[in-house]
Every structure is written in structure tokens, then in C-alpha cells.
Chain A
Amino acid sequence: MFDTIRNAYSHRELIFSFAVRDIKARYKQTALGVAWSLIQPLSMMIVFTLVFSLFAKVPSDGIPYPVFAYSALIFWTFFANVISGGTGAMTSNSSLIRKIYFPRETLLLSVLLAGLLDLGIASTLFGGMLLYYRIALTAAALWVIPLVALQMLLMLGIISLTSAAHVNFRDIGHGLPLLIQLWMFATPVAYPISVIPEWLKPLYLLNPMAPIIDGYRRAIILGTRPDLEALAVSAAVSLTLTVTALAIFKRAERTFADVI
């Protein structure tokens, strides 16, 4: 873990260059360019508002549903994009991995970095929505910073495992979109956490993303602090996962060039 941090620092220019490459290459020869970072969560928000709020009458804790949904969707999109991009990070750079040595986790960190930039772009629209609905930010909004940090830690753990596995089993690439989809419905993105029956809650909160997504909503819209107890569990799960996953990744990394 500390090795990874030290390595990441000494290779910060490489991580940054990979992120720049990914962002630049992604929007080359597109007409809308970087606007695609907005379109993804925005269109999901519209669909969710129609389906869950208008048709299914899902409660939203008294918050206007579009804001309610979007506050979770921008962070969920961040999650989904990093997981799918990170999982393929080794295989999509296979020619590089077969030919040049560099610490492979830089590719994972660059996916996180590029995802963070997309999150920043999507947030600008969110700011506009908050103004429109006259929702004022309080000091509690600062909770977003540790929440994003925790989410990134969790994502790093997940993609360390999935990217290494993807080198050996391309099955991962097929199963992943399905998994992300299911995971979203196990996370309070489209509905509030309050609809979960009490008896199911302990189990539900084992999903480390649940208190994080719920936390964003509380911090930004409700102006309260996140559910710290649930968040502590999430942090413990994430930290354990990431430390283990990075160790596994560094071991698996040795044979990437032979197998990929």
C-alpha cells in the first residue's frame, strides 16, 4: 500500500500523461466532445425521474426528484465509468504492457484521475440545478471531500482485482456491465435509503457504496453529516479490500506480459 503511494508519487507525470491521453483520445472526432460527460448522468436523471418518480412514485425524502437522482447519479456514473474503464485498463493497453516496463498500477490511477475530471464536469450542471431549486450548500457539503476519497479508495481496490482478473479471464469483461447494473439497484441511487426495511438494513449497509451515495445526498442537499456508523463499516471494508487487492495486483502484474 505504502509502496503504491510512493510509486504513484514518483510516477505522477506518467499517471497524468495516461489520463490526458485517455481524455484527449476519448473526445477526438466527436462533435459534442466533453459534453458527453454531462449527457450520461443527465439522460439517466431524466429517465429515472420519469420512471421512478412520475410512474412508480418512489419517495425522495422531500427533495425534488431530479436533484435527488442527479446528486447520486453523478457519483454513480463516476463509479461505473471508473470500474469499467479500470477493469479494461490492462487489456486495452496490452501492446504497451507486452513491450515496455512501467508500474502497471499507474494505468489504474490514471483511470481514477480521468474519472475525477469527468465528475468535475458533471458537477457544474449539478451546481446549476442546486441554484434552480434554491438549495443552499452548508458546511456539511465539505463531507463530499472525504466521501470522494473513500469512494476512490474503494474503486482502486475493485479495479485492482478486476483488471488483473481480466488479463486472465476475459469473462470479466462480459459480466461486468451486468454486475454494475445490479449493484446500482443495491445502492440508494434511484430511491432513498429510508425505503429499505429495518431488518434488511444491516445487510444492505454492507454494500460499501450504499452509505457513500447516501452520504453525498445528506451532505449536499440535506446539509447533514453522513451516517458515520455505516460509513465506518464501508471504510473498513474498502480499506481491507484495497490493501489486499493491491497486493494481489502487484503479484499478478509479474506475469501480465506473458499472459495478456
Chain B
Amino acid sequence: MSDITIELHNVSKRYWLRRGWYVFSIKDEVGRLTSRLLRREVQPREEFWALRDITFSLKRGEVLGLVGPNGAGKSTLLKILSRVTVPTSGSFVVHGRLGALIEIGAGFHPELTGRENIALNGVILGMSRREIESKFDRIVAFAELERFIDTPIKHYSSGMQMRLGFSVAAHTDPDVLLIDEILAVGDASFQVKCANKIAELKEQHKTIILCSHSMSNITDHAKSVLWVDGGRVRMLGETDAVLDAYLEHVTAAMNTAEDTRGEEAGSGAGPASIHQVQTLDGDERPQARFDRGDRVLIDITYSATQALPGAVFGVSVEDIQGHPLGGVVTDPDSIKIPAPVERGVLRLTLDPILFNRGAYTLSVVISDPKVKRSYGLKRRAARIAVDGPRAADRESSGHVYYPHQWESLR
């Protein structure tokens, strides 16, 4: 008996840019024809390979994490697996009933009530009417919508609609489940229910592909990870190994590419500029990868065209998705810009660094907090990757590690 549930062989998907190859308008075609007649260069239709030669297989009960930058082809891959679109070449098989927590609530009709929409959405997702009837109460209870079930869903809040959509989709009882970045539906208590539902499905040996930008979601659930980049398989393997390589790559790419195009608000115009932000290890060697608990030095090279008496320096940290994680500022009484500076260097020491495993960006600002004026700003000026304990022995969650100890008192 073969345990393979999902198998892809050299799956590729091509899209045409500008317009689809048969989506043409008479105006365009006449334009192309005249160009050709006048022996002018005909603008070629540009192709774009969203996926290129994707090959992998998944066994029953496996959970695969799917990572990659935006536009890497993750969504296209999920679309092909869910049969919404067909690959340009290559073949794939999915054994068993497929469920997708991708675009939940697609197919809801705003004029119909919650009850009617459950019936409709359930059938669209492949359930029989009898099956829906038997699961109806559970679906409603899970979505916490008992009171509003006979209200047209156009009167629902977007959170309520998402909850209903998730609930219907989660009750389709699939053998294979595709999940795309939806673990953040609804309020905190509903998120817990969602996470529990996923865990429940894992326990039932469902095969799951989980696509997320949240590294902690991936480490929490996935045993192996597929990293796609530019439509190709960049790496496939054990979660820790792939995520290590992925974070390293993201960090390196950011430090070279983003450094030069770091956004400088009012660059040239502002009285102060931040030229370079360099991260160093405890031995003052340039370094962008650290272990949690390391000593991290951040050297900020700046200049000012005039004295800025009220100025303070600020360094703020964002996670890989751009969520702010807070930061630190200088004390205006100790660090000052009393006169024009041509090349000043300021060092910030973080000792120890208490971030959990992940990639983080640093933004640097020189501003006057009293008059709320920004003199110089460099967003995403540097990027660091932090290595932490393995997923298996993690004792903290989120981005920040809290120094702590547990004691059993009684």
C-alpha cells in the first residue's frame, strides 16, 4: 500500500504578462498588425513562470511548511493542488478529499442568511446535504454565531464572516488540507480554537500543507519545509535546516539589496542623515547572525549639517513581516549633536540579545521628540537573524525571550 498522498512531478505554471495569450482586444491586435506591416518591432508578449519544475511528494499524515518571499509561487502552487488552475506542464496527484483553508468564505452570498450560506458553502466545498445537516450545529457553535444564524450575512462583520467561513471549511473532514496564512482569523479566543482545530486534524493523520510567513507557525506545526523562490524549489527538507537556510538567505539578501535602497525620509533635505548601520558581534567583527543571548553591537554612522540641540537617536526593531517590536532611544542629555558633524559614529550595545529565533530589521531615526520632528531616518537600515533553541525544546513563544525561571512551590 502506498502512503503517498500528494505527488507532484515537474509541475510548471506559465502566465502571460500584459494580457493573456488569447485575451486580446481588437485595438491591440490592429496595433500589432500595423506594427508588423510597417516592419516595426512587434512587442512580444511576455511570459512569466510562476512555477518551474516543482517536484515533491508527501506521505499521509505529514505536515509540510511552505515558505518563500512574496511572489515566489506559493499561492500558485496551492491553486494548482486545489485544482483551481491547471499546470502548464507536469503532473500531480492528490489522493483523498482535499480541503482548502485558503480563501475561506469564498462563495458566500451576502443576501443569504448564515444558515443558507452554510448549506451552500458546504455543498460547494464538497459535502453532501445530509453531511451538512448532521454537522450544522457543530459548525454554528464553532463559529460562535448561534444568535445570528438567520441573519443575512451582509449584516455580519468581516470577522463573523471569516469565522463562519473557517468553520464550514474546517468541518469538511478532508484527507488533505491546504492552509494559507489564515491562522490569524478573528479575535484571540477564536485563534486558539483555530490552532486547536489544526492540531486535531494533525492528530487524525491528515496531510497538511501550511503556507505562512510566520516562522513560529511553521516550526509549531511542520515537520518538513519546502522553500520556493522564483517559482523553483530552493530547498526541501527538515524544518530546522530549511528555516536556517531561509533566514540566512533573507538576511543576506536584505543586507546587500535593501541597504542601498533603504528609504531615507527627507534624504538630502533633512539636517541629519544616517549613512550606515552595521551590526557587529562581541569581538567587533561585522556579523548579521547571532544566537540568542549574544552581545550585539550596532554602529550607526551619521552626519548633521547643523547643531541639533534637542535631537535623540532611536533604533526600532521590526519582525520579518514589518510588525514593530519596539525599540530604544538615546537620552538627550548624554548624547548630543551640539555642532555640525561630518561623520559621527554612535554605538548601541544590546547585551544580551533576547530575541527568539527569527529575522529582524532595524530602523534608525534622528528626531526631536519634543517638537515631533524627524531630522533623519533610515528604514530597514540593517537586518539580523537570530538563532534560537530548536523547535523541539522551545520554552518561549513570540519574538522576545523573557529571562525567566520556573519553580514548583507546592
Contacts and interface: CB of A to CB of B under 8 A. Distances in A.
A and B bound?
Answer: yes
Interface of A: 13-14, 17-18, 20-21, 24-25, 28-29, 95-102, 168, 254-255, 257-259
Given A13-B128, A17-B123, A168-B20, A101 B116 contact: no
B20 A259 contact: yes
B109 interface: yes
A152 B250 CA distance: 58
B112 A24 contact: yes
Contact of B84 (A17, A20, A29, A98): A98
Contact of B83 (A21, A25, A96, A101): A101
B85 interface: yes
Contact of B124 (A20, A29, A102, A259): A102
A23 B193 CA distance: 35
B120 A100 contact: no
Contacts of B109: 21, 25
A168 B22 contact: yes
B129 interface: yes
B111 A254 contact: no
B15 A96 contact: no
B374 interface: no
A196 to B, nearest CB: 36
Contacts of A96: 106-107, 124
Contacts of B100: 100
A20 to B, nearest CB: 8
Nearest to B123: A17
Contacts of A258: 15, 20, 85
B124 A100 contact: yes
B84 A28 contact: no
B150 to A, nearest CB: 13
Given A25-B111, A259-B20, A254 B103 contact: no
Interface residues of B, number: 28
B74 to A, nearest CB: 15
Nearest to B125: A100
B287 to A, nearest CB: 44
Contacts of B106: 95-96, 98-100
For the complex of A and B, list the 8 residue pairs with the smallest distance between their C-beta atoms, beginning with the closest: A101-B83, A99-B106, A99-B103, A28-B111, A17-B123, A257-B85, A25-B111, A254-B86
B303 interface: no
17 contacts: A14-B124, A17-B124, A21-B116, A24-B116, A96-B106, A97-B84, A98-B84, A98-B103, A100-B124, A100-B125, A101-B84, A102-B126, A168-B20, A168-B23, A254-B86, A257-B79, A259-B20
Looking at B83, B85, B126, which has the most chain A CB atoms within 10 Å of its CB? B85
B23 A259 contact: yes
B128 A99 contact: no
Contacts of A14: 123-124
Contacts of B15: 258
B293 interface: no
A254 B116 CA distance: 29
A27 to B, nearest CB: 10
Interface string B97-118: 0001011001101011000100
A24 B111 contact: yes
A21 B152 CA distance: 13
Contact of B152 (A18, A28, A98): A28
B177 interface: no
B37 to A, nearest CB: 25
B276 interface: no
B149 to A, nearest CB: 16
Nearest to A28: B111
Contacts of A100: 82, 84, 100, 103, 106-107, 124-125
Given A17-B124, A28-B152, A168-B22, 12 more contacts: A14-B123, A17-B123, A20-B120, A24-B112, A25-B109, A95-B106, A96-B106, A100-B107, A101-B82, A168-B20, A254-B85, A255-B85
